[in-house]
């Protein structure tokens, strides 16, 4: 097709004269749009990795900077601060577990061997726990529940007051609950349980059946569980 023929066709199109090849104009527009679309796709698929890493880092830092404060998390923060010395001496462990705060104390912080009466050191620790929980409850109306568990090692005990480790473990947990009630905690929010030596954290004895004193010391414990 000559140049003159092309000019003639364009002239006819501009003048509104019918021409079979007018569909080519629409087709050309469509091809142009598709070309632009694929160029955009290609350019977006080749993002500078350094730029992308900076974007992700910025978003991540902003997300981490937002601290969600709940009554439980507030109690955990304050207990960590107030009982720091006990944690450092390995006589206490505090952890968040199953939507609760679990506090595990070695029994020698609370009682004399074979006894269930709270020692002054134990009362001091319970006082700190009560003060923190009571303050948060009053401020945020959280109404926490507190479960107290008594645990012993597997050394048998038998006397007039405690015929077995069952009675001893229950008495130890009950005395903590009674002390919290004396401090003003609502009795309906408290529970005392004794497990004797049925739930050891570590084995009480080696494969030969010989006692492991350091393990038995860990298993003699009081557990406070703070939850809704």
- pLDDT tens readout for residues 135-194: 988 887 888 899 999 999 999 998 889 999 999 999 999 999 999 999 999 999 999 999
Residue 91: its pLDDT value, please? 86
Residue of 116, 104, 57, 140 whose CA lies nearest to 222: 104
User: Using 50, 70 and 90 to split pLDDT, how confident is the model at 196?
Assistant: very high
Query: In which element (H, E) is residue 62 found?
Result: helix 49-65
What are the chain's domains?
3-65 (no CATH), 71-227 (3.30.1330.60)
Distance CA(214)–CA(69), nearest Å, equals 38
Residue 172: its pLDDT value, please? 97
- When pLDDT is averaged across residues 122-145 and rounded to a whole number, the result is 89
- Please state the φ and ψ torsions of residue 148, each to the nearest 5 degrees: -115, 125
Is 118:179 a contact under the CB 8 Å cutoff? yes
- Please state the φ and ψ torsions of residue 211, each to the nearest 5 degrees: -65, 145
Residue 67: its pLDDT value, please? 54
DSSP state of 160: S
Residue 3: its pLDDT value, please? 43
Burial (CB count <10 Å: 0-12, 13-18, 19+), residue 115: middle
Pick the range with the lowest mean pLDDT from 24-38, 94-108, 172-186: 24-38
Which residues share a beta bridge with 149?
193, 223
The single residue listed with the structure tokens 């705060």 is: 101
- When pLDDT is averaged across residues 41-51 and rounded to a whole number, the result is 60
The span from the first CA to the last CA of the chain, in angstroms, equals 87
Q: Higher model confidence: residue 6 or residue 32?
A: 32
Q: Higher model confidence: residue 228 or residue 125?
A: 125
User: Using 50, 70 and 90 to split pLDDT, how confident is the model at 217?
Assistant: very high
Write down the mean pLDDT value for the chain: 83
Which residues share a beta bridge with 205?
211
Query: In which element (H, E) is residue 223 found?
Result: strand 221-227
């Amino acid at each position: 097709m000559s140049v003159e023929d092309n000019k003639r066709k364009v002239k006819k199109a501009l003048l509104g004269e019918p021409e079979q090849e007018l569909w080519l104009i629409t087709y050309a527009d469509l091809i142009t749009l598709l070309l632009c679309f694929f160029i955009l796709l290609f350019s977006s698929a080749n993002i500078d990795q350094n730029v992308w890493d900076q974007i992700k880092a910025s978003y991540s830092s902003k997300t981490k900077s937002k601290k969600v404060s709940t009554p439980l998390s507030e109690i955990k923060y304050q207990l960590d601060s107030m009982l720091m010395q006990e944690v450092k001496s390995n006589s206490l462990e505090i952890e968040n577990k199953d939507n609760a705060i679990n506090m595990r104390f070695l029994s020698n912080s609370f009682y004399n061997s074979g006894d269930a009466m709270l020692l002054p050191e134990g009362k001091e620790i319970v006082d700190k726990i009560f003060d923190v929980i009571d303050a948060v409850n009053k401020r945020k109306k959280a109404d926490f529940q507190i479960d107290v568990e008594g645990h012993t090692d597997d050394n048998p005990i038998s006397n007039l007051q405690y015929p077995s480790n069952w009675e001893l473990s229950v008495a130890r947990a009950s005395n903590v609950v009674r002390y919290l009630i004396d401090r003003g905690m609502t009795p309906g929010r408290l529970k005392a349980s004794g497990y004797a030596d049925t739930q050891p954290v570590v084995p009480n004895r080696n494969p030969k059946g010989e006692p492991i004193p350091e393990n038995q010391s860990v298993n003699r414990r009081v557990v406070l569980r703070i939850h809704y």
